[in-house]
Amino acid sequence: MVDAVTVDLWYTLWYQRSSERAEFRRRKARVWSDCLRTAGASPREVRASCTLLAAERARHLRDGTPWSPRLAASWLRRRTGLRVDVGAVEFGLDQVVARIPLHRTPGSEQFVNRMRRQGRRIGLVSNILEETASSIRSRLGEEKIAGWFDALAISSEVGWAKPDPRIFWDCLRRLHVSPANAVHVGDLPVDVEGAQAARMRAVWFWGADRWSSRADRSARRAASLDAPRVRTWTEAARAVALARRAHR
């Protein structure tokens, strides 16, 4: 039977509207620009360094490898020679995360409560590439979401990122549940691919599709994956129930 459900965070449990996401990105970019200028970079070097950072971040996202602000600052220092203050970068990004607007996807709390009433443990499996894990944990607490989880696996903390199955196994180890008895719910192809590589069953959540970025929407539509697609948390609960029956 299904003893545990793991879920993704961004555009699965919470989301931002397009204007909010754009402002979030601008504020994070401003933190890096300010820290680069403080390190002595010229305006041209700031622009070039930010371009390099964006390209490297995209590579890590594509490859499914973890990348934190601390690793990014170290990488930039090696690449450009600029001694960026890591502490200042992390502090600035933490301030941004603390103030951004976030919205729960409709029905998410009811889904978690339903899973708990049915005796299932709940885990979070999330790739966090641009923010610190501590800021995300703090925001989970402020949004009254932290208490939903029995275990958290955040890529920058555990050292693996989706679709690497090891990030799922790390969460399941903390939940004391085998992959065969667990289902993952997430919005991106890496969620489905990673869960299946970990020998879990996957539910593909499209409920926040209208708020997500054009790139993420394109990735969802281009992928051909064998997993149930759901657009509401009620449908997700049904998919978990069907996964249990299929396993019997």
Q: Answer whether CATH 3.40.50.1000 is correct for domain 4-16+103-247.
A: yes
Question: Exposed, middle or buried: residue 171 (CB in 10 Å: 0-12, 13-18, 19+)?
Answer: buried
Question: What 8-state DSSP symbol labels residue 226?
Answer: S
CA separation, residue 48 to residues 25, 56, 76, 169, 194 (Å): 17, 12, 11, 38, 33
pTM: 0.92
Report H helices in 119-188: 133-142, 155-158, 165-175
Q: pLDDT grade, residue 244 (50/70/90)?
A: low
Residue 138 has pLDDT above 80, yes or no: yes
Query: Which residue did the predictor score with more confidence, 167 or 64?
Result: 167
| pLDDT of the residue at 245 | 57
What radius of gyration, in Å, describes the C-alpha atoms of the chain?
19
Number of neighbours of residue 165 by Cβ within 10 angstroms: 20
- Please state the rounded mean pLDDT for residues 10-22: 97
Residue 248 has pLDDT above 50, yes or no: no
Residue 90: how many CA atoms within 13 Å on its side-chain side?
Answer: 15
Structure tokens at 215: 């790139």
Residue 178 has pLDDT above 50, yes or no: yes
Q: Provide, for the chain, the percentages of residues in helix, strand and coil under a 3-state DSSP scheme, each rounded to the nearest 5.
A: 60, 10, 30
CA dist 41 and 27 (Å) reads 19
For 49-89, the pLDDT digits (tens) are: 999 999 998 888 878 888 899 999 999 999 999 999 999 99
Q: pLDDT grade, residue 162 (50/70/90)?
A: very high
